[in-house]
Structure 1
Amino acid sequence: MKNVTDRTSNPFGMRPPFERNDPGTHPAVFGYGDANADFQFIGDHPGVHGGATTGVPFTETESGAAIQDVARTLGFAHGPTDEPLLENCFWNYIHMCTVEAGRSPTDAEYAELERYFDAELRAINAHILVPVGERATDHILREYTTQRHRFGESLDMDDLHGRDVRGRGFMVVPIREPTEWSDGDRERVVSALEAILNSDYRQTKGVATLVG
């Protein structure tokens, strides 16, 4: 079913329950992009992947710039880097709220926002989930596939980078944390996503449901 909204940022009106941000930063970096996207890039939190002052995921940081570069290469993103135009692509974080500089969200804070992330993910209903970094990848594999046990207690993100994993109604393509990329990592994920784009990927949801 097609979402009917003209809102690029926070298209479903999420209202997270707390504000622990520094002055001059947004209380939250909401989901952003095409609400009818087939591809959803999922980051960790604004302190890692950016957007605390722009309000847009994957901006302002080295990691954000790397993800934008991939998205632009694939034709998903156009226009200004602080407020790009996204087509067939949606960006969000497993923990959308900003917290005080110098710390990461606690486990309790991640848990508190989990239902908001889950509601947005299910509303977008993308075919391809692209988690960025170990925390986002671990969450997606645990909650949206039956495959997490295959990869051991600690995820080997070098091995998972650009690899497709069948989920419960999704295909998951993890991305290693961009600040840790080495030679060939950018090309590996671009090639993996290009191959999906060039396939009949809209059949993924039915196939993944049977396999995952």
Structure 2
Amino acid sequence: MDAHQMEFENPFGMDEDCENCDALCGSRESLVHGYGDVGGEFLVVGEAPTAGADRTGIPFTGDAAGERVQSIFADLGFVRSEPDATEPDVQNLFFTYLTRCRHPEREPTDEEVATCEPFLNAEIRMINPQIIVPVGDRALDALAIDYTTRKPDSFDVEAEHATTIRGRGFELVPMKEPDAMTDADADAFREHMLENVLSRDYRQTKGRQER
């Protein structure tokens, strides 16, 4: 955790009353900005808040999907609290989403993703991560298109799960949606992180300045 960081929840003080998407303002319970260590070298990006995250206001909390993601990163040494914690104790890790509000009946529209893009771009710029974990196809497509040189139609989280994709200044390690992950998938992600990311000097991805 950054020595000057006061709290994990929305540490960059982003707009907590955003009303840029009319269709979401009345349907959301919370506006869910990023959460975690602002000095983290690992950034986890999902598509949109789940019902659990909408209720708690914290990414990847409040339901079984969030618990699965937290448990995976706990096994890797990034989460020091129980998987069902609604305010996880994290280190070297930041959780966030492409979009910040949940519609209970549908996925985010492309327009809503584009409207929220400045929030995510600001978090990426300020955190300056070494490794980004896109969770699900939507997050993988958005990040890979913006930050790699591959063609947009070449990405598939089923094929890319638990692999490393070279990005512009960092690496992507895609993860399937937690609800779609089997135990074998979760084990494969842990194994890839341990053997191919954490076992080497991933900081060589770019010339990172000391904080």
TM-score in same-fold range (> 0.5): yes
CA distance in 2, matches of 1:44, 1:157: 13
Alignment of 1:28-177 (within 5 A): 28-47=31-50, 50-80=52-82, 81-99=85-103, 101-147=104-150, 149=151, 153=153, 155-177=155-177
Partners of 2:47 and 2:136 within 8 A in 1 = yes
Unaligned stretches of 5+ residues in structure 1: 208-212
1:183, distance to aligned residue in structure 2 (A): 4.6
Q: Deviations over 1:187-208 (max 9, x none)?
A: 110011122112111112249x
Deviation of residue 17 (structure 1)? 4.0
Deviation, structure 1 residue 21: 4.2
What residue number does 1:202 align with?
A: 203
Matched residues, number: 199
Identical pairs, percent = 38
**Inter-partner Cα distance in structure 2 for 1:164 and 1:179:** 21
Q: Would you say the 8 A contact 2:19–2:25 is kept in 1?
A: no
1:98 CA displacement = 2.9
* Unaligned segments of structure 2, at least 5 residues: none
Runs of 4+ in 1 over 6 A off after TM superposition: none
Aligned 8 A contact 1:8 1:33 in 2: yes
Mapped to 2, the partners of 1:202 and 1:155 lie a distance apart of 25
CA 106–156 in structure 1, closer or farther in 2 if over 3 Å, else same = closer
Q: 1:14/1:178 Cα in 2 relative to 1: closer, same or farther (>3 Å)?
A: same
Q: What's the Cα RMSD here? A: 2.1
Cα 1:22–1:90 shift into 2, 3 Å: same
How far did residue 113 of structure 1 move? 0.8
Classify 1:75/1:124 alpha carbon distance in 2 versus 1 (closer, same or farther; 3 Å).
same
Tell me the TM-score normalized by structure 2: 0.86
Calculate the TM-score normalised by the size of structure 1.
0.86
